Structure 1
Amino acid sequence: MMNVARLDAVAIGLSGVCVIHCLALPVLVAFMPVFSQFSEAEWVHKFLVLLALPISGFAIFRSSSQPSKALFITLVSVGGLLLFSGAFIEAFHQIEVVLTLLGALTLSLAHLIRWRHSHLKPE
């Protein structure tokens, strides 16, 4: 089984991929048009969300009963909802990038806080 610290690291990495997809890919398209097929592809965004949400959900259930668990669950839930809304709710298409960035950063923050908390615990 994957330990919680490794799970947090994977989740942070996936959030980073979301941020790169939203921010860096348009710049790459400007310099290398071959990347244009990935810049606006809806399936890429949906795939990343469908990959990130189960990992974050699994991380919630792997959480111990630490005092910061409520904060972690709240941040993961809000971040997941933002990602899902940006990827799957057509009414939010105009603000998809904003929702995705906020969701990815919120998920990263949740996992970073828990990872930091687990590494600062006295042994």
Structure 2
Amino acid sequence: MKPATPTVSAWADLSAAALSGLCLLHCLALPLLASLLPVLGAWSQAEWVHGVFVLLALPLSLLALARAHARRALPLKMWALAAFGLAALAAGALGWPVARWETPITVGGSLMLVATHAWNLRRGHAH
């Protein structure tokens, strides 16, 4: 029997979750690595990195959720979790409301997006 091929929606969910994980890794691990390697220190503090993560996460997450929604309507709670996660990522990238909250806000947003895409994947396999 031939193994099932993952759907585009599943790949989008996995990619979005991986991207959220990379964002989480960036927020938690790079400050530690930055203290060891000055080159990584400059990269971890570069504001463009945060913008790139948000610019990648937003369309990828929306694509994954929209494709899943087209197959079977997503619950409002899932859309809300994704929206709050993306909003938190954007707020963290912009240093809003204050720069010192950037890491906790971004980590929270990343975890919300990972949870959303994991929920979407589990939901797709259960159907």
TM-score normalised by L of structure 2: 0.85
**Which ranges in structure 1 are unaligned for 5 or more consecutive residues?**
none
Q: Does 1:18 align with 2:48?
A: no
| Equivalent in the alignment of 1:49 | 54
Which digits, 9 at most, give the CA deviation of each residue in 1:31-74, with x for residues without a partner? 22221111111110111111101111222321236464322211
Which digits, 9 at most, give the CA deviation of each residue in 1:79-106, with x for residues without a partner? 0111111112543322011110000000
Q: Is the 8 A contact 2:54 2:90 kept in 1?
A: yes
Distance 1:95 1:60 in 2: 28
Partner of 1:62: helix, strand, or coil? helix
Distance 1:90 1:8 in 2: 27
Tell me how far 1:118 sits from its aligned partner.
1.1
Distance 2:65 2:73 in 1: 13
Match 1:5 to one of 1, 10, 13: 10
TM-score normalised by L of structure 1: 0.88
Percent of aligned pairs with the same residue? 37
| Equivalent in the alignment of 2:91 | 85
**Which ranges in structure 2 are unaligned for 5 or more consecutive residues?**
1-6
RMSD between superposed Cα atoms in Å: 1.7
